[in-house]
Structure 1
Amino acid sequence: MAEELKARVLLVDDEEDFLTMLAERLESRGLNVTTATSGESALASVEGQEYDLIVLDLAMPGFDGIETLKRIKARQPEAEIIMLSGQGSIRTSIEAMKLGACDFLQKPVDINELMGKIGEAKEKRMLMLETKSIAEIEKILHTKGW
């Protein structure tokens, strides 16, 4: 698989064993994975990089998943984010979706379901970037009078 075609995924979870295991499983399926063990380090990661998908744990010390979601969306409104929870409540998942999460998965996560979600997020992101590029080209053509 060409490097530019690899989906870029940011995994954020304070449980390091879970994070390492999930990262290895996704990398073995050809994904480009970055990990963060806190909301703060996730925010630092999105500063200089855009991801096709961010998988964000709900329960973390410091910035929890909801606070991290809000802050990432403030910086990158188009970011595709899936929330993960070991003890997720319906109310919390509804709040996360209202704040812009595209999905909510329970731990332990089903790797095939997650791979499907990553594929959907990458396609959605590619379509959005393509649409944005077309709009920019049309704007340039219109302003130049071509």
Structure 2
Amino acid sequence: MVKPSVLLVDDEAPFVETMAKRLDKRGVSVSVALSGPEALKIIDDGGPSKIDVVILDVKMPGMDGLETLAAIKAEHPTLEVIMLTGHATVESAIEGMKRGAFDYLMKPCDMEVLISKVEEACRKKRLHEAKILEARAQMIALRRGD
């Protein structure tokens, strides 16, 4: 499998730096953002094809994780998002899943569990994109009468 590309979004810079290093050591390509708007700009500038999975903190000042999740899914529905929080409530977990989160993990999370979730989310995104490409190819073939 091609190495997963992750966008790590959290307002706590030391946490982001540490997590980015830990993910990188495990063969994950990591980009970082310290806010929801910064994450959206990175996704829009690079295109969702450059990022497989977003690891997104729920509690952030300004645009929180649930708002950021909704914005990501509205513009890039195939981009998978894993919600990460130190302040989990059942309500926020349910809301995140309703808005399209792939999964929801508590901070601090076990790195092996996180890597496993990233790989699973990456596979789901790539499979979904392959199905979209296949459907487009079939539509083109039908239009040409192949």
Which category describes the TM-score, using the shorter chain as reference length? over 0.9
Matched, 1:17 2:10: no
Q: Which runs of 5+ in 1 are unaligned?
A: none
Cα separation, 2, equivalents of 1:134 and 1:90: 38
User: Where does residue 145 of structure 2 map in the other structure?
Assistant: 145
Which has the larger displacement, 32-41 or 128-137?
A: 128-137
User: Where does residue 103 of structure 1 map in the other structure?
Assistant: 103
Cα separation, 2, equivalents of 1:134 and 1:58: 35
| 1:73-92 superposed matches below 5 A | 73-92=73-92
Aligned-residue sequence identity (percent) comes to: 43
Contact 2:78–2:129 under 8 Å retained in 1: no
What TM-score, normalized to structure 1?
A: 0.94
Aligned residues: 143
- Once the two structures are superposed, residues 62-104 of structure 1 have per-residue CA deviations (whole angstroms, 9 ceiling, x without a partner) of 1011111111111111221011110110111101100111111
Cα separation, 2, equivalents of 1:126 and 1:72: 17
Matched, 1:56 2:53: no
Cα separation, 1, equivalents of 2:116 and 2:28: 13
What TM-score, normalized to structure 2?
A: 0.94
Secondary structure of the 2:104 match is strand
Secondary structure of the 2:8 match is strand
**Alignment RMSD:** 1.1
Q: Which runs of 5+ in 2 are unaligned?
A: none
